[in-house]
């Protein structure tokens, strides 16, 4: 077991290395020169040169990479070129809304998807099953921001029961927190929900044909228990795998959804950083998300 864990961890090293090289090159090779941007419009060549050397941008590329990777290993993600705040701090400041959204989305999606997928799988061919499959194709096809605007339109503009945009921290009270995070959670969770529901259905359906299900039925186990205790439990591994894979899906959604609902999270941070070409921030956020 220990050697298995060790091998898996060692196997991650080349992946992390490739990710960091890609992220580093990607942003260092881009044409925008942050030194010129920071120096402003009226700066002379000497000022630009001074800023460039203070940022280490005048070093050869390979040297820059090793300096960057070295400090990275010490947990130093660098300093934002624009706000002069360490990137790690910037991310930490913005982490709460994003983390809250991720957790509520996970809980929401799993709580609905697993029972729904299980019932659909156990009653394959029923109207519920067909309905779920239809909704799941829709869920994959509707972009998160479109869904977000539809929900805002119905619940915030027409029914007026939920706030349009913004984020309330959980420390502001559970009521405002839940009402501000409800729409983003549902929006972000739908694609994730249908993904999990689909896999749950397929995996339960596969188990329902196994011999041990027939045995369980033959010895008189109630159908409900056959499905939950016997089929679902054995179907758990693919479901857990897809819950893990789906986290990557969530991340893409988070970036967009934070713009739709005006949530000051990490996604918003990276979009702003990209528009300003703030390399260290972009690198830090991509590395953090890739690590997840």
The residues binding another protein (CB under 8 A) are: 14-19, 21-23, 26-27, 29-31, 137-138, 140-146, 149-150, 152-153, 157, 164, 248, 251-252, 255-256, 259-260, 270-271, 274-275, 277, 282, 285-286, 289-290
Query: Rounded CA gap, 122 and 208, in Å?
Result: 7
Query: Rounded CA gap, 259 and 281, in Å?
Result: 18
- H helices present in 154-278, as ranges: 174-208, 211-218, 223-225, 233-234, 236-260, 266-276
Distance of closest approach, residue 181 Cβ to another protein, in angstroms: 20
- Here the contacts of 126-129 (C-beta below 8 Å, separation 24 or greater) are 129/201
Distance of closest approach, residue 220 Cβ to another protein, in angstroms: 34
Distance of closest approach, residue 274 Cβ to another protein, in angstroms: 5
Measured from the CB atom, is 23 or 193 closer to another protein? 23
Measured from the CB atom, is 28 or 50 closer to another protein? 28
Query: Rounded CA gap, 55 and 175, in Å?
Result: 45
Measured from the CB atom, is 36 or 142 closer to another protein? 142
Query: Rounded CA gap, 122 and 142, in Å?
Result: 27
Measured from the CB atom, is 124 or 142 closer to another protein? 142
Distance of closest approach, residue 144 Cβ to another protein, in angstroms: 8
Q: In 3-state terms, what secondary structure has residue 209?
A: coil
For residue 86, list its beta bridge partners.
79
Measured from the CB atom, is 208 or 216 closer to another protein? 208
């Amino acid at each position: 077991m220990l050697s298995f864990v060790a091998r898996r961890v060692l196997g991650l090293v080349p992946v992390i290395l490739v990710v960091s090289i890609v992220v580093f090159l990607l942003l260092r090779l881009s044409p925008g020169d942050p030194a010129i941007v920071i120096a402003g419009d009226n700066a002379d060549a000497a000022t630009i040169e001074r800023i460039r050397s203070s940022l280490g941008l005048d070093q050869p590329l390979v040297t820059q990479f090793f300096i960057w990777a070295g400090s990275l290993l010490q947990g130093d993600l660098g300093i934002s070129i624009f706000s002069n705040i360490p990137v790690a701090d910037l991310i930490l400041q913005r982490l709460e809304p994003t983390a809250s959204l991720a957790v509520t989305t996970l809980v929401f999606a799993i709580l609905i998807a697993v029972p729904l997928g299980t019932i659909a799988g156990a009653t394959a061919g029923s109207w519920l099953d067909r309905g779920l499959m239809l909704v799941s194709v829709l869920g994959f096809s509707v972009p998160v921001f479109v869904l977000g605007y539809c929900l805002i339109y119905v619940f915030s503009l027409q029914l007026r029961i939920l706030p349009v945009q913004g984020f309330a921290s959980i420390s502001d009270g559970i009521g405002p927190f839940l009402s501000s995070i409800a729409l983003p959670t549902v929006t972000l969770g739908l694609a994730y929900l249908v993904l999990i529901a689909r896999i749950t259905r397929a995996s339960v359906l596969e188990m329902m044909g196994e011999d041990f299900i027939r045995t369980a039925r033959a010895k008189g186990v109630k159908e409900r228990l056959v499905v939950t205790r016997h089929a679902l439990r054995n179907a758990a591994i693919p479901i857990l795998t897809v819950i893990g894979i789906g986290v990557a899906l969530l991340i893409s959604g988070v970036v967009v959804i934070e713009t739709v609902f005006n949530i000051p999270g990490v996604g918003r941070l990276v979009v702003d950083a990209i528009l300003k070409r703030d390399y260290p921030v972009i690198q830090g956020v991509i590395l953090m998300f890739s690590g997840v």
